[in-house]
Chains A and B, each alone.
Chain A
Amino acid sequence: MEFYRAHVLVCGGFPCVAAGCRAVRGEIERSVKEHGLEREVRIVETGCLGPCDLGPIVVVYPEGTVYSRVSVDDVSEIVGEHLMKGRPVRRLEYTERLPSVSQADHKRPDYFGIQERIVLENVGLIDPDSIEEYIARDGYLGAGMALTSMSPDEVISAIKASGLRGRGGAAFPTGVKLGFTARVEADQKYIICNADEGEPGTFKDRLILEGDPHKVIEGMIILGYSVGATMGYIYIRGEYYLSIERIERAIAEARRYGLLGHDLFGSGFSFDIEVKKGAGAYVCGEETALIESMEGKRGEPRQKPPYPGTCGLWGKPTVVNNVETIANVPPIVRNGADWFRQFGTPTSPGTKVYTLTGDVNNKGLIEVPMGITLREVIYGVGGGIPGGRRFKMAQTGGTAGGCLSETHLDIPMDYESLQETGSALGSGALLIIDDSHCVVDIACALLRFFEHESCGQCTPCREGTRRLHDIFRKTRELAATEKDLKLARELAGVMQASSLCALGQSVAVPLFTIMDHYADEIEAHLEGRCPAGVCRPNPANADESAYETLQAGNGIR
């Protein structure tokens, strides 16, 4: 094995690719060669290192020096000073608390603070294209243990005992789901990994797939073994070019190593995985719509029951799990249910991966134990609100998630506590909004999304999303009345009760939480006032009475 005196990790997560990390990596390679260091310094493109808005990020080991916003022009200084002379370039060094680099970095314990890494244990540390590096971090050990020394029932019992719940949004206990499918007799069963990550504000699944693809493959092998499925599919968004590339390479590598295919680990169990590409439809994240899409149809949700667990892809029993859920499985099998339960809360064990976006200093990918408070996330890992502004609202769980106000900052973030507030953990998106924004304007943006993404199959959702958007647009133009808002509430309630799938049902979640927690601010819009100063009347509505009232109120003649 080659020995290198220094490792240069270049973040190759998609946000860093967008910031230009490829050019930086190329320049580092060139410069290292120019200085004749190619036998001493190894350059690794890793998965996401965490703080996405600081990219391109470069970390130099063994010192663990983190460089942020590195440009091609900075490279010669890093190579010439740091790698040649051992003098870190202070000018480029990122000295703030960096959320996710890295648990292996014992020299700087402050870096990981309240983060715990189970799902992301390898993301940002290993080269995602190297199966050897994954294996060196105990990769495929869990699959080997399960297939050679555990019965399928024992695997399911272990997952049940761990208390793992679905991380895609619905929070259904994973072990129970596996139990349903394991019990059904069928000539063929399937495992589907749901990587159709369409929830705005969520990009964790892509960063897991891009940073540690073999972990997802290993998790799927274990799930397949537990229910008796020999075929798995990864359904992935068509726009996720890099994720598709990385996971396809990883699957080919696993096949080459005999970790996918016939007779895995000499156990007699066979399993293989194929990638299916989506084509841009939010609703395909719903499991039955996803299955329809995989069968080559329009992604319109099916009537439930029957549930996919008994009648899914091609009418066969199918387990559909989110990427993050699957990535939790190998560590659980490897370390046991008790180990997993030491993280999080008794009813929501483990960790949760969040993507932190919006008005917060440190944006990006984080993994924290279940049950820590929103305040700890925003002001701890997130580094607070920039520009001296005040926290106003946090939307948890993506567009279909609920909105929390300042009074909810100290509520523990776990499934039960958030449900009590009318919100949900959902997909793990955390959108932080400061006081320069108006809740009505935000509500409009959310409703526009739902209107666009409703698949059009069932009437409550197709018509409801459109009317709700109309009403809130009218409110934003300061032309709505109390009657309009009453209608909005009623509509959302009907949609919640009668829509075919979670898309239509969940519109009420953000809407009701905004209407309940920010009643005063919305009320002001009825009186022709936007307290945040964002909303303006539409001059085209000049004949409407609310506009006239406003003009009178503002002294405009």
Chain B
Amino acid sequence: MLKMRGPVGPEGSGVVCECDDVFLTEVQRVVSVYKERPEDLVQALHDVQSLRNYLPREALRVVARTLDVPESRVYGVATFYSMFSTSPRGRHIIRICESAPCHVAGAAEIINSLLNELGVEMGGTTSDGIFTVETSSCLGVCGVAPAIMIDDTVYGNLVSEDLPAVLRRYR
């Protein structure tokens, strides 16, 4: 089996993947409840992703074997949905909404401040490996726009000045 060690994220991103046997055994354990149930592929990928915040290629292979679906289909699904990532991400995922309701409420300014504060581009991961910033189509909290979501917590009614305090909780 292919083993990967060492940094695999963008250079200097600080993200390290260790797809060792321990990890793959863990993947096996997580997906075993979906054995030969192709219809649960999306749920299985959610569970696998919760281990390392992304879906390494080797893990997809384990999912394919266990659920008994072609690897191509697993890859197809893993790359279709925006909540899944096949490349390494930071420990915390920051999702920013840039849809019309947030746009009207001044999301562009929040996005700029956040990227400046973290020193990354959209989609990038901070050099300490703590945050990855992604855009979201809608977080469904438009009543408190502009909003960002860090993992499963939403911060609404944001102004740029709020960001440092919010980020400090995760550092």
Contacts and interface: CB of A to CB of B under 8 A. Distances in A.
Contacts of B41: 296-297
Contacts of A17: 154
Interface stretch (A73-81, A351-359, A544-552): A351-359
Contacts of A298: 76-77, 80
A358 B104 contact: yes
A255 B97 CA distance: 37
B45 A433 contact: no
Mostly helix, strand, loop or mixed at chain B's interface?
A: mixed
B81 A279 contact: yes
B140 A293 contact: no
Nearest to B82: A280
B112 interface: no
B16 to A, nearest CB: 25
B86 interface: no
Contacts of B154: 14, 17-18
B149 to A, nearest CB: 7
B6 interface: no
A119 to B, nearest CB: 17
Nearest to A448: B98
Interface string B22-53: 00000000000000001111110110000000
Contact of B149 (A52, A239, A279, A453): A239
Nearest to B153: A18
Interface string B70-108: 000100110011111000000000010111111111000
Given A293-B42, A296-B39, A359-B104, A241 B140 contact: no
Contact of B104 (A19, A198, A355, A433): A433
Interface in A439-479: 442, 445-446, 448-449, 452-453, 455
B101 A201 contact: yes
A52 B155 CA distance: 13
A99 to B, nearest CB: 11
9 contacts: A14-B154, A19-B157, A199-B138, A203-B143, A239-B136, A277-B42, A278-B81, A280-B136, A297-B76
Interface of B: 38-43, 45-46, 67, 69, 73, 76-77, 80-84, 95, 97-105, 135-145, 147, 149, 152-157
Top 5 closest A-B pairs, CB basis?
A52-B143, A200-B99, A279-B81, A296-B41, A280-B82
